[in-house]
Amino acid sequence: MADRGTKMIKLRISRYRPERSGEPFDQEFTIPYRDDMVVLDALNYIKDHIDPTLTYRWSCRMGICGSCGANVDGTPKLTCALYLRDLKKRPVLIEPLANFAVLKDLVVDIEPFMEKLEAAKPYIIRKDERPIERGEYRQTPEELELYRQQSLCINCMLCYSACPVYGHDEKFLGPAASALALRYELDSRDQGSEERLAAVATEHGIWQCTFVGECSVVCPKHVDPAGAIQQLKALAATRLMKAMLLPLAPR
């Protein structure tokens, strides 16, 4: 029982119990809270003290793992980084990320996202891999800085939840996968540009983006995936023009 002076907050949480019903429903909880509590703390309080069946994802509690994303009052957020004291609406509405199939309560199916990541080839591709005994591939601080922003992506999928293009076309490669593709395009150690650009510069790839920019607005790490997609478009267009005008030139 909360003390008389304890502040209380009401949360309305979207629930989905496929083993009981095919339709989601909202459930309200009123809990005590402190100013230093985040939304994830509230979810943990409910699970520990009120309803142990509440289902959601979380891991690090530090805004690094990217697993605790949810729509809070209609905006994709990391629940571990959003303070209850900063939420003005009552009750606070907590829903699963939009544009994904819901598996249970706040847990969404991440498999389509993982497939898009794989399609973007987010890894270093070498054509002339050298033995490890010959040493590492060195980079200057300036070369590292070229892709540092895109490397900050934590795959939280908030950008996909905010993207109207992905909401309309589930085949769209999407913001995070595109940003990670650019991260490796800009890496001085990579030699797979032609292969990677061919994979992302497709009908459902970067050309599908209409540059709404909401993905960059909600990104908790300021990766700017909308800007990354525009850079990829420029790289792909340049490569195409070179192939047309200088067909024998190295690309």
Q: Are strands 92-95 and 102-104 parallel, antiparallel or unpaired?
A: unpaired
Report which of 107, 109, 108, 110 is spatially closest to residue 43, judged by C-alpha positions.
107
Query: pLDDT tens for residues 157-166?
Result: 999 999 999 9
Fold: same for 7-108 and 111-245 = no
**Cβ pair 176, 122 in contact under 8 A:** no
> Where exactly are the structural domains of the chain?
7-108, 111-245
Which two three-digit tokens encode residue 79? Answer: 């629940």
In angstroms, rounded to a whole number, what is the distance separating the alpha carbons of residues 110 and 174? 13
Residue 244: pLDDT band (50, 70, 90) is confident
Per cent of the chain over pLDDT 70 is 96
The per-residue pLDDT for 246 is 79
Higher-confidence residue of 146 and 2: namely 146
Question: In terms of DSSP bridges, do strands 7-15 and 92-95 run parallel, antiparallel, or are they unpaired?
Answer: parallel
Q: What count of Cα atoms within 13 Å lies in the side-chain half-sphere of residue 57?
A: 20
Answer whether CATH 3.30.460.20 is correct for domain 111-245: no
CA distance 126 to 43: 45
250 pLDDT tier (thresholds 50, 70, 90):
low
CATH of domain 7-108: 3.10.20.30
Flag whether pLDDT at 179 surpasses 90.
yes
Is the pLDDT at 180 greater than 60? The verdict is: yes
The pairing of strands 25-33 and 102-104 is unpaired
Q: For residue 3, what pLDDT is reported?
A: 57
Q: pTM for the whole thing? A: 0.92
